[in-house]
Structure 1
Amino acid sequence: MGADTRLAELGGSGLGEVDEPAFAKLTQRHRRELHVHCYRMLGSFEDAEDTVQETFLRAWRRWETFEGRSTVRAWLYRIATNACLDLLAKRRPEPATGGEVPWLQPYPDRLLDELPAGDADEPEAVAVARETIELAYLVAVQHLAPRPRAVLILRDVLGWPAKDVAELLGDSVNSVNSALQRARAGMRGHLPVERQDWTGGAEDAGTRELVRRYTDASVATDIPALTSLLRDDVRCSMPPTPGLQVGRDTVVDSWIEDGFEDLGRLRAVRTSVNRQPAIGFYLWREEEGVYLPLTIDVLRVIGGAITEIVTFHDDQFLRLGLPERLPADGTQ
């Protein structure tokens, strides 16, 4: 698309004039996929939201620099990637360490469902099918330095050619290819061993039954029942709270030490985030006469056992579309 065609579509009469509704029509259709891209880069829903806002602001200010040599979508991805790199340079000079990512936040499936459907060849559709949105992938990505992280996501997730990534980053193709190999090696050191066995976000009957049993046992604060559902090497974390428990005995001991069995009356609501099963737990509050949000457990299930539990605090309930409270009579 040349400059004259672009200006005609935008309703402007010169490079300094841009018709805002036409600009929004061309750019806003890409908001969700850009948000997911920034989320992969940053691991934080809130940071992704801020960065997408910054992306559209930069695009608005720089519209006259768009020469039509690429699609608007690709141009926006370039701006978004650089905005993410700028944020990472300012806010997180040190990479994630020790398997913990304190800034990790969940991404609701109801928003992932807004991604363009496309066909089997569409990069975003392929990316979601390859589980590049699951929490374990997000955690592994956060252990990479920012530029190799960008290279990995642009090349392996979005399918960009090396020359385009090199142009975006101001590097040579050889540098990009070298960074990609280092990033892939780094990912292998942090991804689960059973990476090839992940289910692509689709729960089979066995997984649904396991999640049901986990939910029931949690509501009953039945630690022996919960223990029977965990794999020996299960991992448990609760970002942003520091601490990563590894191993069934360690996880169960931490539950006992935290007084889980004496927690009180619980109720649960099933949901899904990051293409994984999740359960929002509510604790009975006698003074209010209702169940109020407590925590959200996001599960990774492999081979009929729970291999990872990532627990988020109650400040994530609203974003995930969970009720603010549950009444005593069991209705919502």
Structure 2
Amino acid sequence: MSATTLTEEPDVTRLDEVEEPEFTALAQRHRRELHVHCYRMLGSFEDAEDAVQETMLRAWRRRETFEGRSTLRAWLYRIATNACLDLLAKRRPKAATGGEVTWLQPYPDALLDELPADGADEPEAVAVARETIELAYVAAVQHLAPRPRAVLVLRDVLGWPAKDVADLLGDSVNSVNSALQRARAGLREHLPAARQDWTDDTADDAATRDLVRRFTEASLAKDVDALAAMLRDDVRFAMPPTPGVHVGRDAVVADWVSDGFAELGELRAVPTAVNRQPAVAFYLWREGEGAFLPLTLDVLRVVDGEVAEVVIFHADQLERLGLPGRLPADAG
């Protein structure tokens, strides 16, 4: 699916007389961006899928309420935001005091590439879109209460006016502005210091690629000392859905050693990318299968030429990345 621009949205003023196939075609044009919006709100790819399904169902059932006073896109965002708030009210646990977000899941870059291209030539818009999808940002958002969370995403990520957010939430503009200030303060408490400001890191792409290559080679060799040398002093490590966040090079390395990393069997690696961050899928040799099978997905955040964060996901997250389910014995 190639990127499209939002300016191509057809002029829709009424939906109550639209047949279901036409309605579906109109709504599906916005599905990917709605999914990303729900993912930012919920932190889980699977929960976001549930929220988008519910959004499409509600939109069809309530199509007579759309009278063209806003764009179809804005109308769908309103429904999606409320679907997320309803889901959060029913089944979202609170982030643990240790800082972990155990329901956090990665978002494949290949799917992010399907997003509309509006703002693609504006550096600030590119930086905001990139950094507000990073795992560190998505995880930090999960610590906010649902309504301030919605205000933050709608105002700071989507750029909605305060009045539109107030209308969506049934609140006053003053309440929305107050909630936004609280949300920003809460976000700063959980967002890594190196991500307090949105910046464009594209100038460091070559250095980042080299660091990821060296990290991969050291991982394949199970060279703990080489890996430790690439970590920042304040590196963070998490492995959702396993509870626990380790902070600091010594603590992270100690956890890897105690977890038996150095004793793992033969590994192979496949580079990939999620959340606009470099990632490496690792495969472990399984003698009984005669193949290398998925082991983990390691996602890196790189700051100033060092690894600032490592988030390791279980093998069950590899399938949606389009990666192979097994590698042959002769895989290099």
TM-score by length of 2: 0.92
Secondary structure at the aligned position of 1:243 is classed as strand
Instruction: Sort the Cα spacing of 1:34 and 1:157 in 2 relative to 1 into closer, same or farther, 3 A.
Output: same
Cα shift readout 1:1-53 (whole Å, capped 9, x = no counterpart): xxx9745xx6xxxx4x5401210121110000000000000000000001000
Shift of 1:119: 3.1
Shift of 1:120: 4.9
Instruction: Sort the Cα spacing of 1:197 and 1:78 in 2 relative to 1 into closer, same or farther, 3 A.
Output: closer
Shift of 1:94: 3.1
Opposite residue 272 of structure 1, the aligned amino acid is A
Opposite residue 77 of structure 2, the aligned amino acid is Y
Shift of 1:98: 2.2
Instruction: Sort the Cα spacing of 1:191 and 1:273 in 2 relative to 1 into closer, same or farther, 3 A.
Output: same
Q: Report whether the alignment pairs 1:239 with 2:208.
A: no
If asked which structure has higher relative contact order (CA below 8 Å, sep 6+), I would say: 2
Opposite residue 140 of structure 1, the aligned amino acid is A
2:210 corresponding residue in structure 1: 209
Instruction: Sort the Cα spacing of 1:124 and 1:292 in 2 relative to 1 into closer, same or farther, 3 A.
Output: farther
Q: Do the aligned residues in 1 keep the contact of 2:131 with 2:198 (CA within 8 Å)?
A: no
1:139 corresponding residue in structure 2: 139
1:57 corresponding residue in structure 2: 57
Q: Do the aligned residues in 2 keep the contact of 1:291 with 1:325 (CA within 8 Å)?
A: yes
5 Å-filtered alignment, 1:5-84, equals 6-7=13-14, 15=16, 17-84=17-84
Opposite residue 105 of structure 1, the aligned amino acid is Q
Q: Whole-Å Cα distance in 2 between the matches of residues 154 and 311 of structure 1?
A: 29
Opposite residue 216 of structure 2, the aligned amino acid is T
1:310 corresponding residue in structure 2: 311
Shift of 1:60: 0.2
Shift of 1:97: 3.2
1:100 corresponding residue in structure 2: 100
1:159 corresponding residue in structure 2: 159
Instruction: Sort the Cα spacing of 1:5 and 1:218 in 2 relative to 1 into closer, same or farther, 3 A.
Output: closer
Q: Report whether the alignment pairs 1:227 with 2:223.
A: no
Opposite residue 246 of structure 1, the aligned amino acid is V
2:250 corresponding residue in structure 1: 249
Shift of 1:122: 8.5
Shift of 1:199: 4.2
Q: Whole-Å Cα distance in 2 between the matches of residues 121 and 155 of structure 1?
A: 21
Shift of 1:330: 1.4
Q: Do the aligned residues in 1 keep the contact of 2:128 with 2:198 (CA within 8 Å)?
A: no
2:189 corresponding residue in structure 1: 189
Instruction: Sort the Cα spacing of 1:184 and 1:107 in 2 relative to 1 into closer, same or farther, 3 A.
Output: same
Q: Whole-Å Cα distance in 2 between the matches of residues 35 and 256 of structure 1?
A: 38
Opposite residue 65 of structure 1, the aligned amino acid is T
Instruction: Sort the Cα spacing of 1:133 and 1:234 in 2 relative to 1 into closer, same or farther, 3 A.
Output: same
Instruction: Sort the Cα spacing of 1:221 and 1:298 in 2 relative to 1 into closer, same or farther, 3 A.
Output: same
* More off after superposition, 224-233 vs 267-276: 224-233
Q: CA RMSD in A?
A: 2.1
Q: Whole-Å Cα distance in 1 between the matches of residues 139 and 37 of structure 2?
A: 15
Instruction: Sort the Cα spacing of 1:168 and 1:100 in 2 relative to 1 into closer, same or farther, 3 A.
Output: same
Q: Whole-Å Cα distance in 1 between the matches of residues 224 and 123 of structure 2?
A: 43
Q: Whole-Å Cα distance in 2 between the matches of residues 92 and 223 of structure 1?
A: 36
Could you list the runs of 5+ residues in structure 2 that have no partner in the other structure?
A: 1-10
Shift of 1:212: 0.3
2:4 corresponding residue in structure 1: none
Q: Whole-Å Cα distance in 1 between the matches of residues 127 and 58 of structure 2?
A: 26
How many residue pairs were aligned? 321
Could you list the runs of 5+ residues in structure 1 that have no partner in the other structure?
A: none
Q: Do the aligned residues in 1 keep the contact of 2:280 with 2:297 (CA within 8 Å)?
A: yes
Shift of 1:203: 5.5
Secondary structure at the aligned position of 2:265 is classed as coil
Secondary structure at the aligned position of 2:141 is classed as helix
Cα shift readout 1:266-286 (whole Å, capped 9, x = no counterpart): 000000000000000000001
Secondary structure at the aligned position of 1:204 is classed as helix
Opposite residue 19 of structure 2, the aligned amino acid is D
Opposite residue 229 of structure 2, the aligned amino acid is S
Instruction: Sort the Cα spacing of 1:70 and 1:197 in 2 relative to 1 into closer, same or farther, 3 A.
Output: closer
Between the two proteins, what is the percent identity of the paired residues?
Answer: 76
Q: Report whether the alignment pairs 1:86 with 2:93.
A: no
2:280 corresponding residue in structure 1: 279
